[in-house]
């Protein structure tokens, strides 16, 4: 049942209106504007019949106060007036009333006008609800188009737009490029479902360490971007990056992946390293590359890298000095042992060398095997891999190259070796491993193939 509030200082008019309407509507009747306002503080109604001429506060003043209250401003109002001239009618409508009813009341007219106004109000509310629902649906569709489907983070396009708007409005901060080291090994060894769960875990960790005003993004694959707003202190930014790395590495460790996976972060400060998203993104990407080339599982500021480059630019060197500096990290013994990312570039460089020179180069793949297919603890496998890497290092020449592909395989490149020599070298490595390894559960088998001048490095499955 609809609820009507009647405000009229004439008690006879109130009684008359109540008799006309009480069979159809719930009625609340008051004699003063202040009483109506008091009622509306804690109650609401579907329509107000408001007398114009009242002591203390006339109907127009009461209506102004009702409209000023956001909670009840939408309640439709019909004025009650003994003045039925055009000027009064115009003033009522200008004040915001939907209609007016002349006194003395004509019962059928009153019921008809009230019924029409309430019907129109129901239609207005339904249309407003539909419009609100449509707006919500469009907003949801737009939001989903701007989000990464897997993690719920923003996509690259939205992030670029959002960060540029923040920068244009004077927001300072830092842009993190966050990348998981050896993520492909998780997909390969444990399946894409586990890989997707790991990416969701990344997103949840970023949310945990973010605040209002930050922008979180998944660029694609295992690459994420985090715009940290309002921070300028390198110490604070570095502590945040360190906390993210520690938390993610702990969660990866809890999953007991045997993939040697970790987290690397490149950092660009805004506006120092870039006055827009694209410039800051490229700076953070270069800083991330530095981390990847220097051990991974850490963070690096682009500004520090740039300072180092400026320092070197101010100190011109000759070739002899350059040769001496570049060779300081070379121990002068054994095979080069590289991370897989670096090995990828070296492999393709050697392939180009083979293509031009026609020299013979062998690729050897060593794979962990266990006695009787028994399950071996990861610690034991790791010890065996370390012994194998030592055997490879001591058994090969300085021109040969190796890398650990996964927790179960090691790749070796043998320069200037045919298949027969390659097999002899591979067996020599295994013999050396057998002398170094004191365990009984793990051994290695190998496969060997000649590098084709047209092939490119594709990690083995």
Measured CA to CA, the distance from residue 160 to residue 176 in angstroms comes to 13
Measured CA to CA, the distance from residue 173 to residue 167 in angstroms comes to 9
Q: Which domains does the chain have, with CATH numbers?
A: 3-124 (3.40.50.2300), 156-313 (3.30.70.270), 336-450 (3.30.70.270)
Q: 40 — phi, psi (to 5°)?
A: -75, -10
Across the chain, mean pLDDT equals 85
* Confidence band for 437, pLDDT divided at 50, 70 and 90: confident
Measured CA to CA, the distance from residue 267 to residue 289 in angstroms comes to 11
* Confidence band for 459, pLDDT divided at 50, 70 and 90: very low
Strand pairing class (26-30; 3-7)? parallel
Catalytic option among 214, 222, 285, 400:
222
Dihedral in degrees, nearest 10, Cα atoms 344, 350, 354, 355: 60
Measured CA to CA, the distance from residue 183 to residue 186 in angstroms comes to 5
Measured CA to CA, the distance from residue 1 to residue 47 in angstroms comes to 12
8 flagged as catalytic: no
Measured CA to CA, the distance from residue 172 to residue 433 in angstroms comes to 55
Mean pLDDT of the 376-391 span? 81
Lowest mean pLDDT among 194-198, 270-274, 397-401: 397-401
Q: Is 365 exposed, middle or buried (0-12, 13-18, 19+ CB in 10 A)?
A: middle
**pLDDT > 90? residue 365:** yes
Task: Enter the pTM of the model.
Answer: 0.45
Measured CA to CA, the distance from residue 302 to residue 2 in angstroms comes to 67
Q: Which of 132-146, 179-193, 289-303 has the highest mean pLDDT?
A: 179-193
* Confidence band for 61, pLDDT divided at 50, 70 and 90: very high
* Confidence band for 316, pLDDT divided at 50, 70 and 90: low
Predicted local distance difference test score (pLDDT) of residue 178 = 94
Concatenating the DSSP letter of every residue in 64-86 gives: HHHHHSTTTTTS-EEEEES--SH
CA neighbor of 341 nearest in space, from 298, 400, 294? 294
Lowest mean pLDDT among 28-32, 265-269, 394-398: 394-398
Measured CA to CA, the distance from residue 32 to residue 39 in angstroms comes to 11
Predicted local distance difference test score (pLDDT) of residue 289 = 87
Mean pLDDT of the 137-149 span? 68
Measured CA to CA, the distance from residue 110 to residue 17 in angstroms comes to 9
Tokens 């539909």 correspond to 130
Strand pairing class (262-270; 223-229)? unpaired
Count other Cβ atoms within 10 Å, centred on residue 147.
16
């Amino acid at each position: 049942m609809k609820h009507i509030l009647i405000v009229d200082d004439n008690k006879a008019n109130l009684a008359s209106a109540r008799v006309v309407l009480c069979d159809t509507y719930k009625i609340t009747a008051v004699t003063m504007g202040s009483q109506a306002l008091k009622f509306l503080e804690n109650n609401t109604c579907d329509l107000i019949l408001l007398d114009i001429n009242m002591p203390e506060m006339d109907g127009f003043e009461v209506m102004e106060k009702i409209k000023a209250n956001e909670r009840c401003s939408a309640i439709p109002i019909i004025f009650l007036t003994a003045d039925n001239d055009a000027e009064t009618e115009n003033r009522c409508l200008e004040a915001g009333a939907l209609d007016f009813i002349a006194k003395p009341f004509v019962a059928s007219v009153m019921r008809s006008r009230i019924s029409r106004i309430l019907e129109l109000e129901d239609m207005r509310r339904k249309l407003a609800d539909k419009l609100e629902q449509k707006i919500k649906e469009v907003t949801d569709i737009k939001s989903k188009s701007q989000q990464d489907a897997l993690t719920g983070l923003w996509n690259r396009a939205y992030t670029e737009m959002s960060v540029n708007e923040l920068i244009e409005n004077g927001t300072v901060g830092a842009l993190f490029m966050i990348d998981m080291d050896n993520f492909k090994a998780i997909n390969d060894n444990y399946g894409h479902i586990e890989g997707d769960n790991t990416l969701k875990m990344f997103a949840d960790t970023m949310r945990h360490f973010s605040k209002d005003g930050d922008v979180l993004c998944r660029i694609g694959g295992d690459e994420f971007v985090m715009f940290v707003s309002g921070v300028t202190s390198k110490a604070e930014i570095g502590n945040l990056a360190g906390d993210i790395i520690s938390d993610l590495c702990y969660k990866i460790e809890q999953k007991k992946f045997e993939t040697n996976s970790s987290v690397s972060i490149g950092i660009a400060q805004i506006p120092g390293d870039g006055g827009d998203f694209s410039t800051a993104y490229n700076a953070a990407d270069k800083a991330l590359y530095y981390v990847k080339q220097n051990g991974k599982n850490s963070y690096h500021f682009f500004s520090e890298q740039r300072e180092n480059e400026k320092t070197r630019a101010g100190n011109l060197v000759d070739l002899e000095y350059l040769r001496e500096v570049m060779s300081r990290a070379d121990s002068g013994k054994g095979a080069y042992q590289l991370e897989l990312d670096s090995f990828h570039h070296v492999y393709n460089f050697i392939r180009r060398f083979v293509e031009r020179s026609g020299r013979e180069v062998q690729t050897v793949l060593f794979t962990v095997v266990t006695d009787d297919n028994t399950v071996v603890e990861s610690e034991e496998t790791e010890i065996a891999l370390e012994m194998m890497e030592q055997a490879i290092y001591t058994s090969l020449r300085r021109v040969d190259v190796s890398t650990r592909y996964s927790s179960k395989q090691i790749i070796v490149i043998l320069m200037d070796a045919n298949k027969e020599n390659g097999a002899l070298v591979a067996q020599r490595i295994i013999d050396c491993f057998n002398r170094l390894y004191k365990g009984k559960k793990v051994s290695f088998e190998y496969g060997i193939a000649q590098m084709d001048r047209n092939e490119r490095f594709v990690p083995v499955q």
